Amino acid sequence: MPHTPKPDEDALDAVAPPHPVFHVEQALLGAFLLEPQRLNEVTGVGPDAFSTAAHAALFAAISSLPAPDPAEHATHPQWLDTVLATAREQAPGLTAAYLHSLIQVCPWPPHAPAYARMIEAEHCRRRLAAAAQRLVQSAHDTSLPLRVASTFDETDALGGVLDDIATRFPPHAGSLPRTPTPPQATTHDQDALDEERLLLATATAHPSSIEQMRWLTPGDFTHPLHAGLWQCLTTLIRRDTPVDPVTVLWEAQHRGLLGAGAQPRELLELLAGPVGSPEHWGERVLQRSVLAGAHHLGRRIEAFTHDPANTPYQLVVGSRRALADLTAVWTRWQHATTEPAPTTRPARTRTATSTAAPRAGPPPTTALPAARTPR
């Protein structure tokens, strides 16, 4: 028969703890309340490491008050009254009964350092999950004026969290997480498809630009046919073969692209009508790939943190492995957005927050601001 709390029963004690760490926090706080001198044995946790506001307020109160004499504390519990009064300033719902229940549930006060280490580990998990969520939000937020720059910043912040966790819990070999990787999000964006088509058309019309666009790979495209056509173009350039819609069509036939639903006439029409420059559309395609990669990275790390079986060591190793995949895309983005080197000065790299002029866009009907320098 389920337990029904009495009207005067402490609500904090009646609520079922959502996670095992709740019990660990109770044990640690009970150890401090029973033997306050144990606080000197504990490092690595602060009020923000606790999962509830009530526990955070109790820890803050215990940490801020001088520990009583052990012999006096054993016979006169006035210190507990002071802790309760101080903690109630932040958590008014705390009661003396709850403090006594914490003392009762503590199995062994000398184990306080072990309890603190468990709480520290769970706090690291929550911090990493929050950093991953911010990265996903940044990659999706179309209202950001500098979306890629903001995503860069969130990636750096996530890396900083990982570094801090690795300092606290140094990873060891053979500790990859076993959490399944979430599937890559499927993009059905008409703007992305249009930009990829314009890139293919302009690159076919201006094949000399393709050699300078090694920073773009087939994996950056959202449509398999477009990725295959980009491979056709780069292959023709590598062979020093003439490039035009007909030669691309012939190469596409050899790669089996026509059997995937694309008809010859449709493919020729796709490659016609160049607008702007290949570099402009290539950067647009790569930018979407960067943001999609950041979104997938955030979801992978979120999946790691949501799996309670993963230890802090596994979180560090798995997240760093995932971060390395995105770093490769960041590197290509930096190559794509690097200004040409002046003849008399060293090369100047356009950073994520730079205001340097981007590539030329479409003609005046849909043109970018005049300040942008056309090729």
Residue 40 reports pLDDT greater than 70: yes
Q: Average pLDDT, stretch 208-215?
A: 92
Domain assignment present for 151: yes
- Please tell me whether residues 208 and 264 are part of one structural domain: yes
* pLDDT at residue number 85: 94
Confidence of residue 352 (pLDDT cuts 50, 70, 90): very low
Average predicted confidence (pLDDT) for the chain: 84
Domain assignment present for 234: yes
In three-state secondary structure terms, 359 is coil
- Please tell me whether residues 281 and 309 are part of one structural domain: no
Q: Crossing angle of helices 112-140/20-34, nearest 10°?
A: 140
Domain assignment present for 368: no
Confidence of residue 21 (pLDDT cuts 50, 70, 90): very high
SS3 labels along 209-266: HHHHCCCCCHHHCCCHHHHHHHHHHHHHHHCCCCCCHHHHHHHHHHCCCHHHCCCHHH
* pLDDT at residue number 346: 46
Domain assignment present for 36: yes
Among 107, 131, 150, where does a domain finish? 107
**Long-range contacts, 299-302 (Cβ 8 Å, 24+):** 299/132, 299/136, 299/182, 299/185, 300/181, 300/182, 301/128, 301/129, 301/131, 301/132, 301/135, 301/158, 302/129, 302/132, 302/133, 302/136
Domain assignment present for 356: no
- Please tell me whether residues 56 and 26 are part of one structural domain: yes
| CATH (domain of 16) | 1.10.860
Q: Closest Cα to residue 237, out of 217, 207, 197?
A: 207
Residue 308 reports pLDDT greater than 80: yes
* pLDDT at residue number 283: 94
Confidence of residue 369 (pLDDT cuts 50, 70, 90): very low
Is 72 exposed, middle or buried, given 0-12, 13-18 or 19+ CB atoms closer than 10 A? exposed
Q: Tens digit of pLDDT for each residue in 130-156?
A: 999 999 999 988 888 889 999 999 999
Residue 357 reports pLDDT greater than 50: no
Domain assignment present for 112: no
Tokens 């549930």, located at residue: 105
* pLDDT at residue number 260: 58
Residue 366 reports pLDDT greater than 90: no
**Nearest 5°: phi and psi at 299?**
-70, -35
* pLDDT at residue number 144: 87
* pLDDT at residue number 69: 81
Residues 360/363/364/368 CA torsion (nearest 10 deg) = -30
Domain assignment present for 313: yes
Beta bridge partners of 338: 349
Q: State what percent of residues in the chain have pLDDT above 90.
A: 60
> CA–CA separation, 264 vs 315, rounded Å?
49
Enter the tokens of residue 184: 């890559």
* pLDDT at residue number 163: 94
Compute CA 95 distance to the chain's CA centroid, rounded to the nearest angstrom: 39
Domain assignment present for 128: yes
- Please tell me whether residues 103 and 29 are part of one structural domain: yes
**Which segment of 23-37, 220-234, 345-359 scores lowest on mean pLDDT?**
345-359
- Please tell me whether residues 52 and 75 are part of one structural domain: yes
Backbone φ/ψ region at 309: left (φ over 0), alpha (ψ -120 to 50), beta: alpha
**Nearest 5°: phi and psi at 349?**
-95, 130
* pLDDT at residue number 353: 38
- Please tell me whether residues 280 and 132 are part of one structural domain: no
* pLDDT at residue number 361: 47
Q: Could you say which DSSP state residue 349 is in?
A: B
> CA–CA separation, 314 vs 235, rounded Å?
41
* pLDDT at residue number 338: 77
Number of domains in the chain: 3
- Please tell me whether residues 19 and 67 are part of one structural domain: yes
Q: Which domain holds residue 56?
A: 11-107
Q: Tens digit of pLDDT for each residue in 251-271?
A: 999 988 887 567 889 899 999
Q: Tens digit of pLDDT for each residue in 72-105?
A: 887 888 889 999 999 999 999 999 999 999 999 9
- Please tell me whether residues 24 and 159 are part of one structural domain: no
Q: Tens digit of pLDDT for each residue in 290-304?
A: 999 999 999 999 999
- Please tell me whether residues 94 and 231 are part of one structural domain: no
> CA–CA separation, 187 vs 246, rounded Å?
29
> CA–CA separation, 88 vs 34, rounded Å?
19
- Please tell me whether residues 23 and 57 are part of one structural domain: yes
* pLDDT at residue number 184: 73
| CATH (domain of 210) | 1.10.860.10
Residue 365 reports pLDDT greater than 60: no
Residue 367 reports pLDDT greater than 70: no
- Please tell me whether residues 173 and 199 are part of one structural domain: no
Confidence of residue 245 (pLDDT cuts 50, 70, 90): very high
Other Cβ atoms within 10 Å of 281 Cβ, number = 27
* pLDDT at residue number 18: 59
- Please tell me whether residues 61 and 141 are part of one structural domain: no
Q: Average pLDDT, stretch 31-56?
A: 92
Confidence of residue 363 (pLDDT cuts 50, 70, 90): very low
